[in-house]
Amino acid sequence: MKILFVAPPPYLPNRLHRNRSFDLIKILSKKHEAHLLLVTTHKKEPKEFKEIKKVCKSIKIIYLNPIEAILNCLRFPFLPAEVAYCYSREATKEIQNEVKRKNIDLIYLKRLRSAIYLPLNNDTDSITPIPVVIDTTDAMSMFYNRLYKNSNYPKKIIYKLEEVKYRTFEKKTMEKIKNWIVCSPIDQKYLQKLEIPINIYVVPNPVDTEYFSFVPKLEYHNALLFRGLMNKPVNIDAVCFFVEKIFPNVEKKIKNIKLYIVGPKPHKAIKKYNNGKNIFVTGFVKDIRKYITETDLSICPVRIASGTRFKILHAWAMGKPVVSTTVGAEGLLYKKNKNIAIADNPKEFAKQIINLLKNKKHYDTLAENGRETIVREYSFKVIAQKLETVIQDVKITK
């Protein structure tokens, strides 16, 4: 099958900013002829993009001027800001052109905001009679609802407006596109409550088990890892919560404990914690595997979220235990104290960390079960089968 994979700004798919897209493209290309249409506001190509070029039949990259993208937010105030930001008339035309030129069999839209590339008030048939599937990953109105509930004014007002806009946009998109993919059953159930007759499939986030290989524990470093995009509100909140409420309790029991906060564009609220002694804010790193390997535990003190978190999946894949909040582990196939430690209050969270650093048997159990979970539920082979089932079903029902 010839598949046109469409991804929105700002970044081209890579292991950091568009991890799910990066992996799904490689999975699709193994059995299908993958053609990419990518819109970006960043001219620089990430080094990993070379991997994508090798497996795709064709790639069309459309550059969207960041200033024009910002102006779009003013031009389309009724749309969610992220959706308006991505608008590109050129992208809409190119989708139609690519479908005709390449004789495309299926359009795979990545992220809800990619729906802006279809006509706003018409059916998908006005573009092409071929099947269209949209992989939103998360339920975006649910995400902004959670931001709203966990924020203070004036941000609270902004997040509420975005929630309302996203809910409206989700419903309008459901009227045009009847086949949706999300990464967790939580997002699926939420979207089903909108009561619009569409097909909503769950395809979890995939993990490259060869790239993120199991690393046996040889020695303790007394080091914790929190990683992610450090300008995202969910990660800012998680870091502040951990450093201020949890980490002091760990320091009392574990001598020379260190915390590595790893990820690009750290917010000023995060940068202030960097002391060069036991808390290190690294910013961007070329290879996250180095930090997963050289720390003992990965932490996920996330309190606001939708979808599922690669910070847990990649730690599991490399045999590193994870301590997470219930929200942080939401949507994943986890078993408390079997493949993950769960805690929602600061003292219990600290207790779980201390226990894992002092109890080698418990540490090894979580490490081995975490890796086994990845191989069984999230490996490329498993996700490829789930994705293929969706694609064939979409093709048949069209």
- Residues paired with 224 in a beta bridge: 259, 297
Q: What pTM, to 2 d.p., does this model score?
A: 0.92
- The residue assigned the tokens 């941000």 is 155
Phi, psi of 191 (to 5 degrees): -65, -30
Residues whose CB is less than 8 angstroms from the CB of residue 395 and which lie 6 or more positions away in sequence, other chains included: 1, 105, 106, 131
Distance, in Å, from the CA atom of 109 to the CA atom of 107, rounded to the nearest integer, reads 6
The residues, ordered by sequence, that sit 6+ positions from 167 with a Cβ below 8 Å of its Cβ are 141, 194
pLDDT at 121: 44
Tens digit of each residue's pLDDT (9 = 90 or more) over 133-187: 999 999 999 999 999 988 888 989 999 999 999 999 999 999 999 999 999 999 9
pLDDT digits (tens, 9 = 90+) for 192-210: 999 899 999 999 999 999 9
The partner residues of 324 in beta bridges, in order of sequence, read 300, 342
Chain centroid to CA 62: 22
Measured between alpha carbons, how far is 275 from 249 in angstroms, rounded to an integer? 18
Q: Consecutive sets of 10 residues in the chain, 398 residues long: mean pLDDT of each?
A: 96 88 95 96 89 94 97 96 96 94 95 87 54 95 92 91 96 93 95 92 97 85 94 94 97 95 95 95 93 96 85 96 96 95 97 96 96 97 96 78
Instruction: Sort strands 279-283 and 258-262 into parallel, antiparallel or unpaired.
Output: parallel
Domains delineated in the chain: 2-206+379-397 (3.40.50.2000), 223-377 (3.40.50.2000)
Asked if 223 contacts 282 with a C-beta cutoff of 8 angstroms, the reply is no
Element (H, E) at 59: strand 58-63
Exposed/middle/buried for residue 158 (C-beta within 10 Å: 0-12, 13-18, 19+): middle
